[in-house]
Amino acid sequence: MQYYSLQNHQHRASFREAVIQGLAPDKGLYFPSEIPKLDKDFIERLDEYDPQYIARKVIQPFVGADIPVQYLTQIIRETLTFPFPLREVEENVYALELFHGPTLAFKDVGAKFMAGCLGYFRRSAEQPVTVLVATSGDTGGAVAHGFYDVPGVEVVILYPSGKVSELQEKQLTTLGRNIRALEIKGTFDDCQRMVKTAFLDSELQARRPLTSANSINVARWLPQMFYYFMAYRKIKQWKRETVISVPSGNFGNICSGMMAAAMGLPIQHFVAATNVNDTVPRFLVNGKYEPHQAVATLSNAMDVADPSNFVRILQLFSQNERALKATLSAYRFTDEETVAVMKKVYKESQYLMDPHGAVGYLGLKRYMDQHPGVTGIFLETAHPVKFANVMPKGLEEAIAVPERVQQMNGHGKESVLMNADYAAMKEWLMR
């Protein structure tokens, strides 16, 4: 499979090059040169196959010969180590739980798969590569766990001191080995700026080659298709129209679902549910793409004003807005609506949602109000315990704390406290 840059369709790269580079040299996102179509028979019989086989069938065409099948199978085995249960919340409304992985959020899937690919491509490199990443919370933990102990790869994570939750900080700072955390006395934007400066610093790169584990990397984006197939595998006998609502920030997750549909998975409609950072819902109304300044909300992993993956969605529909609108609806919700629905659903159905899942639920219900008779699924992207500090009163006590979170309480934090100063970080990385 070849990938082209969305900035310049003439620029081509292999899967291997696209994974190692992340972004094309012209800063465009990579997009596959063709969308493979899956056999009808394969889709019809999804429930007869095991998840690892399905994942391999789905991803293999995108990887091509760059990773031998045997090794790809092993990467998939190491990625799919946890289930994706589909829970009935109300009649015809289901939660697809994506939070049963090591850091309790869906990003575990993409991070682990990408780590496997990069580890393979770097297996005989003389010098280790450093994955440098800034995090506002969830990404850092998923990357740390995904790349833990991968030979030839070192990970350095920058996070803003005092601005991530206690559990998120534990996930970044307690692993050790090849994972190091820099606790920056500043904001997420400071961390992001320091990382960007480092990528442009040729002196540093010569001493210590850097790469990113950003969500735009094709090896993080594409494996997110897996769980859409797993969900369909469970519901296919219902023979009803299926709608999936995805709480969206950077729009990578929903874009992978739409990619799965483009490959032949029978999902009739998608809903992008956002918080008040609503660039895409506004775009679908007036055709104008006008990002505002990002606003902080309870669903903080979706506080994105200019979602980087939206260009990929437009490309999937060949820039045809009309075709896009026939398949995608987008709605925005406030924190007040989010909290109210978390309480309501817990009271009526005893199902506890995290703020991101709650936004997804709201989006699904809005669509279903206008389109009765469909089966609706919303993605529950994070475990509620990750957001215990923002849970409304009365719900916090309802959180069932998973065993591995309790275990983590025994580990000590290890991080390097640093000013938001590029020179200080460079000196630390060069040492």
Which residues make up the interface to ligand PLP (CB under 6 A)? 105, 107, 138, 247-253, 301-302, 356, 381-382
Total Cβ atoms within 10 A of residue 237: 8
DSSP 420: S
Tokens of residue 39, six digits: 């056999």
Pairwise CA distance, residues 383 & 402, whole Å:
9
- Interacting residues of 104 by C-beta distance below 8 A, sequence separation 6+: 382, 383, 385, 386, 402, 405
- Is residue 275 within 8 Å of residue 333, measured between CB atoms? yes
Chain-centre distance for alpha carbon 264: 22
H/E element, 130: strand 129-134
The catalytically annotated residue of 27, 57, 107, 343 is 107
Beta carbon of residue 324, minimum distance to ligand PLP (angstroms, whole number): 16
Secondary structure of 239-275 in HEC code, one letter for each residue: CCCEEEEEECCCCHHHHHHHHHHHCCCCCCEEEEEEC
Beta carbon of residue 252, minimum distance to ligand PLP (angstroms, whole number): 4
Beta carbon of residue 415, minimum distance to ligand PLP (angstroms, whole number): 21
Beta carbon of residue 301, minimum distance to ligand PLP (angstroms, whole number): 3
Pairwise CA distance, residues 381 & 379, whole Å:
6
Say whether 396 sits in a helix, a strand or coil: helix
From residue 27, alpha-carbon distances to 8, 30, 33, 149 in Å are 10, 9, 17, 30
Half-sphere exposure of 162 (CA within 13 A, CB side): 4
Q: Is 107 a known active-site residue? A: yes
Pairwise CA distance, residues 361 & 342, whole Å:
9
Alpha helices of 22-161 — where are they, by DSSP H? 40-44, 51-63, 69-79, 107-121, 138-147
Secondary structure of 184-240 in HEC code, one letter for each residue: EECCHHHHHHHHHHHHCCHHHHHHCCEECCCCCCHHHHHHHHHHHHHHHHHHHHHCC
Beta carbon of residue 337, minimum distance to ligand PLP (angstroms, whole number): 17
Residue whose CB is less far from ligand PLP, 138 or 154: 138
Beta carbon of residue 138, minimum distance to ligand PLP (angstroms, whole number): 4
Beta carbon of residue 105, minimum distance to ligand PLP (angstroms, whole number): 5
Beta carbon of residue 356, minimum distance to ligand PLP (angstroms, whole number): 4
Say whether 132 sits in a helix, a strand or coil: strand
Task: Sort 249 into a burial class: Cβ within 10 Å, 0-12 / 13-18 / 19+.
Answer: buried
Residue whose CB is less far from ligand PLP, 2 or 334: 334
For residue 179, the cross-strand partners are 155
Say whether 412 sits in a helix, a strand or coil: coil
Residue whose CB is less far from ligand PLP, 97 or 183: 97
Residue whose CB is less far from ligand PLP, 46 or 139: 139
Q: What is the set of active-site residues?
A: 107
